[in-house]
Structure 1
Amino acid sequence: MTAARIPTAETAPPLGLRERKKLKTRLAIREATYRLIREQGYEATTVEQIAEAAEVSPSTVFRYFPTKEDIVLTDEFDPLLESELRERPADEPIVESLRVVLRRAVSLGFAEEPEVSRLRTKLMIEVPAVRSRMLESMSVTGGILCRVIAERTGREPGDLEVRTFSMGLIGALTETAAYWAERDHRDDLPTLVDRTLSMLTSGFAGADRSGKSSVPSGPGMPS
């Protein structure tokens, strides 16, 4: 059994000139946004200021990011989530596949951009517009999970069990991020993700107050 591979600068295939220019612009917009928010706060930061700091036009900002909230929240995780889950062994319980992929993604994301991870989750709990937009984007992620879980379990993506498990996971992960931020990011985020998955699969009966669980899966869960 091999570990999930999430592309990094070292493993991702080389980009063409056009793609490199687009990526450079996206990163410049994001970095300018984060810098301005740290300096003056979210509400005081305007798209016009972001465009000036990134040395692009406001229309370019909107071409890459439909809203200011999208600049804060957008990442490249959804396509990776789907591909990495599909690469896990077909006979592996879906909860274990999710545990491996999510833990690795969270660990890599925090290792590469720890301050960004903290800022995004802080804004999520402090700015209603950011939290609302995050919930919208997470519904897309839930649809991806429905497809993958359906394929793995031989069910339809629209089955009640598939939908409730997938969207329940999305809601749980959102609350995990909020919990992490509310506690000033003191906890280890990958460990919190593990606790969340344990709770979803075994419930309170299978977990102590630390979140440790000896029950690998719960009745009625996709496996």
Structure 2
Amino acid sequence: MKTSKSQQEQTRRHLIRTAVDMMTEQGYEASTMKQIARAAGIGDATIYKYFPTKEKLLLAYYELCIEIVLEVTLETPGLEQFGLQERLQRLVDALLELLLADREFVEMTRSVVGKSPLLMMRDQMPGQQALKAQVIAFIAAAEQSSEIAACDFKNLLGGLFADYLFAVIAYWLKDESEEFSDTTQLVDLTLAVLVLALKSGVVNKLSELASFLIRNQLSRLMQNGSGLLDILKLAKRGLAA
């Protein structure tokens, strides 16, 4: 008997949730695919039809999160009245709100990815294409409404947003401020700088080399955090002027 797409999706989400709970409780290495399958109530072989490896199952958690975040963001009341910064901020806020309940698991996955950096190569980044398409749509809408200047780098910025999100997560995991206020300030400042740059047309003057350097240094800067908020405040004031 064939299962419907909706049933397959329910099974996929159930497997992901089961894996997250098990890995959080007993660790990544100690959790086997067989254990996850049995805890989820499916056959040992069936799990491999959904996820060929445990690493793919781990990444599927983030892909599912991006799917949910995009749904939540697009269903936000009054979203059509939001400016570009508010729309992008809604995306980030929705993701962090979703990850909060699984913060211990998210912290654990960072060490797993650190041992296997190829897992997070650009083409494999979870939810990359859907996220990229939505960010491009937001930028195009802002461009069409004349909120920002004509942007020649929509495709590049859309691709970079996934890198930005995972860098924000790294910063958030190290944030010990009350109610993660430093992360809130970081997101507000970084997105404000981006939108001001788009309004001024500065982004169109960036080269491919500059974008490459930004992408490769972004995670390091956010994980370090030292002086980053002050730098962003200066950049925001400069662009606003």
TM tier, smaller = 0.5 to 0.7
Q: After the TM superposition, which residues 1-223 of structure 1 pair with which residues of structure 2 at under 5 Å, given as runs? A: 23=10, 25-38=11-24, 41-43=27-29, 45-74=31-60, 75-78=64-67, 80-81=69-70, 84-85=73-74, 88-90=78-80, 92-107=82-97, 109-132=98-121, 135-140=124-129, 141-154=131-144, 160-181=152-173, 183=174, 185-186=175-176, 188=180, 189-201=183-195, 208-209=229-230, 211-212=232-233, 215=236
SS in 2 for 1:209: helix
C-alpha separation in 1, matches of 2:24 and 2:41: 19
Query: Unpaired segments of 5 or more residues in structure 2?
Result: 146-150, 198-227
C-alpha separation in 2, matches of 1:19 and 1:53: 21
TM-aligned CA distance change 1:86 to 1:110, over 3 Å: closer
- State how many pairs are aligned: 193
TM-aligned CA distance change 1:180 to 1:135, over 3 Å: farther
Residue-by-residue CA offset, 1:74-115 (whole Å, 9 max, x unaligned): 3243364267348654453212221134214422x1444343
C-alpha separation in 1, matches of 2:192 and 2:120: 25
Query: Unpaired segments of 5 or more residues in structure 1?
Result: 1-17
TM-aligned CA distance change 1:110 to 1:164, over 3 Å: same
RMSD in angstroms over aligned alpha carbons? 4.1
- Return the TM-score normalized by structure 2: 0.58
Which residue identity is paired with 1:169?
F
Query: Does the 8 A contact of 1:36 with 1:50 survive in 2?
Result: yes
TM-aligned CA distance change 1:64 to 1:78, over 3 Å: same
TM-superposed deviation, 1:162:
0.9
